[in-house]
């Protein structure tokens, strides 16, 4: 099965799970408080379990090199996002809405949306390399990302990024990987069960967020389509052009796939949190997240199909 078809299959499964969250919220079975509580469980318990489980592999030089390459690709993806956001959304003296738009373009939902996809498409290495991308994402969010809203970067924000659950999980995972630490079977089995909650929980939460938003009204806002284009297509297409350099290098094919899927994810839920914190139209941020999430069901498989088509021509 081709990567694009595998991605499409997984995205359709995720759509079904999102629908469960959507209808449960509409029927009152799940509430906004539930979404908030589940988000905490997902971020601080489930995601670390996924990351630690991913690093429970035997050390070898190729995988160690792959981690460094994943880190470099993740940094490159976010730098491309910063550049595109600056070009497409200029600063405005009369409004701060551009801050939301820039943040929404740069930062994708690589944790809630990307991690389940790559884990399914690449069960052996997907979560392993995706973990590094998520760590870089968190560091960027709490440095460059917060700078968009506050106008400055401080040491507290940087230290906060290093203490976030995904980053700490990666650091612990690196120790497990590089020192070939053997965890007790009870712990590894427990981590496996918790990690298995990642996809269903993440999709339920996304379904609730979409249900909270007036999705029909959101789809009528033309400017959101510009944000969606940059986040879901323009940045991934830039990355495809860059990854073409490695078209004949099969040793890093998994790393390229993980980086590309992560770059094509919809807007991060953190956008709403920052918009709320800095009191800049959080409703608009919620609409962006909802629209980009729904559209990503089409665009992520599309990006992977373009990627495969171009690479076949090059090879």
Please give the full DSSP string across 284-314, using - where no structure is assigned. HHHHHHHHHHHHHHHHHHHHHHHHHHHHHHH
Whole-prediction pTM value? 0.90
| Tokens, residue 271 | 């956008």
pLDDT digits (tens, 9 = 90+) for 165-215: 888 888 999 998 998 888 888 999 999 999 999 889 988 988 998 898 888
| Tokens, residue 278 | 């800095």
For the cut 70, the answer to whether the pLDDT of residue 315 exceeds it is no
* 36 vs 23, more confident: 23
**Cα torsion through 186, 188, 190, 193, rounded to 10:** -140
pLDDT digits (tens, 9 = 90+) for 80-106: 999 999 999 988 777 789 999 999 999
Residues 6+ apart with CB under 8 A from 65: none
Phi then psi dihedrals of residue 267, to 5 deg? -55, 140
Whole-angstrom distance, CA of residue 74 vs CA of residue 78: 6
Question: What was the pLDDT predicted at 154?
Answer: 63
3 state DSSP class of 205 = helix
192, 262 contact by CB (below 8 A): no
Whole-angstrom distance, CA of residue 269 vs CA of residue 289: 7
Name the band, by pLDDT with cuts 50, 70 and 90, for residue 43: confident
């Amino acid at each position: 099965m081709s990567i694009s078809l595998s991605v499409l299959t997984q995205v359709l499964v995720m759509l079904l799970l999102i629908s469960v969250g959507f209808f449960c919220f509409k029927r009152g079975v799940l509430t906004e408080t539930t979404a908030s509580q589940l988000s905490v469980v997902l971020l601080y318990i489930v995601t670390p379990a996924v990351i630690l489980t991913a690093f429970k592999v035997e050390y070898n030089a190729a995988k160690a090199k792959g981690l460094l390459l994943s880190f470099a690709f993740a940094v490159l993806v976010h730098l491309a996002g910063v550049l595109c956001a600056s070009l497409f959304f200029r600063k405005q003296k009369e409004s701060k809405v551009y801050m939301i738009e820039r943040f929404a373009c740069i930062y994708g939902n690589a944790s809630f949306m990307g991690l389940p996809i790559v884990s399914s498409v690449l069960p052996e290495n997907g979560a392993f390399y995706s973990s590094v991308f998520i760590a870089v994402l968190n560091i960027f969010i709490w440095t460059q990302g917060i700078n968009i809203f506050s106008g400055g970067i401080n040491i507290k924000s940087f230290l906060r990024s290093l203490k976030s659950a995904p980053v700490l999980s990666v650091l612990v995972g690196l120790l497990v990987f590089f020192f070939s630490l053997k965890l007790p079977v009870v712990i590894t089995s427990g981590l496996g069960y918790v990690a298995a909650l990642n996809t269903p929980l993440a999709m339920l939460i996304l379904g609730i967020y979409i249900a909270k938003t007036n999705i029909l009204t959101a789809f009528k806002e033309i400017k959101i389509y510009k944000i969606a284009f940059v986040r879901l297509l323009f940045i991934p297409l830039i990355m495809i052009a860059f990854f073409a350099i490695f078209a004949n290098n099969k040793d890093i094919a998994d790393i390229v796939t993980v980086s590309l899927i992560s770059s094509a994810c919809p807007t991060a839920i953190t956008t709403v949190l920052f918009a709320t914190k800095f009191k800049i139209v959080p409703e608009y941020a919620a609409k962006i997240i909802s629209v980009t999430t729904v559209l990503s069901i089409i665009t992520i498989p599309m990006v992977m199909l373009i990627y495969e088509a171009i690479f076949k021509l090059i090879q």
